[in-house]
Structure 1
Amino acid sequence: MAISAPKGTRDFLPDEALFWQQFKATAAEVFGTYGYLPIETPALELTELFVRGIGEATDVVSKEMFTAISGENLKNWVENGRAPERKSRLSLRPEGTAGVVRAVVQHDLVPQGAAPAKLMYAGPMFRAENPQKGRQRQFNQVGVECLGAEEPTVDAEAIIMLMRFFQRVGIPSANMTLLLNSMGCEKCRPAYRDLVKAHLDAHSGELCDTCRTRAEINPLRAFDCKNESCAKVMEQAPKITDHLCDECKAHYETVKALLDGAGVAYVEDASLVRGLDYYTRTVFEVQTDAGLGSQNAIGGGGRYDKLAEEVGGRPTPGLGFALGFERCALALEALGVEMPQAQRLDLFVACVNDEMRAAAFGLVQAARDRGYKADMDHQHRSLKSQFKLADKLNAAKVAVLGPDEMAEGKCQLRDMASHEQLIIGFDEVVDTLGRALA
């Protein structure tokens, strides 16, 4: 039986792989105008990084992480019952922020008093989820992190940048909804957390088992529950925006004022808490109505002013967001945006007979040396089949080398779109191709 890709993973065939490359390049261009620089961190990190950073009570850590065990450790566990020590366990990254913050702390990228570190990343993430449309076990994200600045201008700038990116790749503003909320800080959130816990305790009989557990560990996670009964309970829960301290309230109001000034529309959603424990103050999420069904979030993030301390660094405010490539691709497909075609040639060189192959090979190399995409038949096809191949490869021009024309130092150059055909000097093909493409 043929081996297939694991459940919840998929291959990027050439067209989609090319689109992923262009997607990343567009992100680098857009985010680069805001001062963001690339960073790459390992796909494997110490499990403890995610436990401390994301939160042990989150679904991501408690249910969805892939933990990696070496063959030797697995053998010891199975044969001798000795599980690897927790401090040495590795996990595939379920998200990008914790690893970037770890790198910033480890390499001291934000020395005391230094300018903020603005970083962007792109790559695969891994979660042991039930695969469905828009949700895979291996998926790709593009994200940014800004560490070292706590001003609300950073929050507003990141949100504006995210919306500009979505518009740049082809998702219209009319098809997106920006949700906004504040999670408060260590001064005001504990009291709010207690209010939510009291609300959950008062409605314990209406909650699922998971939310009853959440009430003891982290009551705010109940806002994420999709259980209909739990959702009804949480609709009546106290709102965080009614319990913000003066500093958090001022920060939130400034973020909204900056977005208003930039003409960025948003909807305040007091139930928006995001799925990870490290968030403080501003949180946001972008949803689309284009072809995603219930999995309609295409990006989001927020502020995490305590995360650097959680992973062993000095106090360093931070803010970031991530967006999902696969969900964006689904949204763009639903909107009728055409994906790029990986197979595209500037020039295909066809031979009337095998005696022309050496000349064809030389012409192909000359075109490539000038930066054009060029190819030829390598399987001794008939001339008719060579034209079919040129059409399949989306060739713009086809140079036909025949003995009679070549005896005069000439060849035919056919435009595959208009079917116009010229007889030109063999040595003029590359220059003529350049003028035609320009």
Structure 2
Amino acid sequence: MFPFLLDSHGRITLFELHAAYKLQHYSYLQNVYLLTNGLRPQNRPALALPIRRSNLLEDAVALLRVPLGTAVHLHLMMVFSGEAVAGPGVNAEFFLLFMEALVANKEIGFLTDWESNLLWFSEEAMQEVRLGQTLVSSADIYWALGVACGLAVYNRVFMDFHFPLALYKKLLGVSPDLCDLWELSPRLGRSMTKILEDTNEHLEDTLCRTFTYQYETNGKVIMRELIPGGSFTMVTQRNKHEYVERFVHHKFCSDAVQRKFERFEAGFTSVCQVLHFRLLSPRELRDVAFGKASYDWPALEQGVIYVNGFNARHNTIKMFWEVFRELSDEQKKRFLIFVTGTDRVPLSGMKALGITFSMAENPEGLPQAHTCFRTFYLPAYGDKTDLRDKLSIALEQCFGFAPLE
């Protein structure tokens, strides 16, 4: 394998072809197994995972923390209990809600930087966490998160995964650097850069900093030495570069962080073997795994397909795009989630989403969506204000899949 012979687009295409081949290959093997045991083959063999909305995090961790064997290489089919709809849109909604539930649970041990809004592993030791009525090891939760991310990548479902580029570097065996600290925590990045740029000969007197790393947990400030005897070693002009390097290394690779990352990595590579995506750079892996967050709203409009009585010249469609252009970016992203199950954008751009607009049967009802097919059911409203109000209500209620008649 010589990845340097391919450009970025070629490497990403090769990765996606490999994932598609594995899905096809393991689907074939599953049907061979069924036939040899006298059972009927399936059109699309799937890994079906039933989840209760009311216990989403508990159910997901319980299902994903156990080895799934070769079943992880089948098409993923998340099923919410009591709901008839299943497919890519439901998968996307599950991953979105799963990450929200993980981040909301403060016992699990993720830190959110207040400036970048990015997540990283905390310095706290792994412990048992209560999920619903069950006590679960946080080690199992990190494994389950890795499996979930691997399944998202493998099934080409974008996941709202707010981790910095440093995570993808570590997955590919690349050491994070000061640029990664800037991305994760601009405040710390500025502080370290200021130290490097300081030309004061007596830096130890003005900076008054030792080779230590401090963090707060449960209201207590904890100090860790970056080198043996670090609490007695002042940062000087001579050793400041070593200090910054060790500070960055500790932030991304301390013992506590590394143990959590290794559990995540083990879960991730149980689905996506690291050998198969070493041809990608860290940035390419991040884009392949979780899409882009750059939005070209005119391209979205250009890529829409109109069916069942609608066309680009229909009065309701003209009113819709007038209303849509007036929405805030957050409301527009909400529309993406409503129709596709995620607000992430394919590498090929928003036009490639290929959303279908279909005329709804009830001209007075609320807009609906079938995320499995990226179809938006819009009533043929005759009034722009009515359209705006009902679209707003639909977007506020965008989570939850109701069966469409």
TM-score when normalising by structure 1: 0.24
Bigger radius of gyration among the two: 1
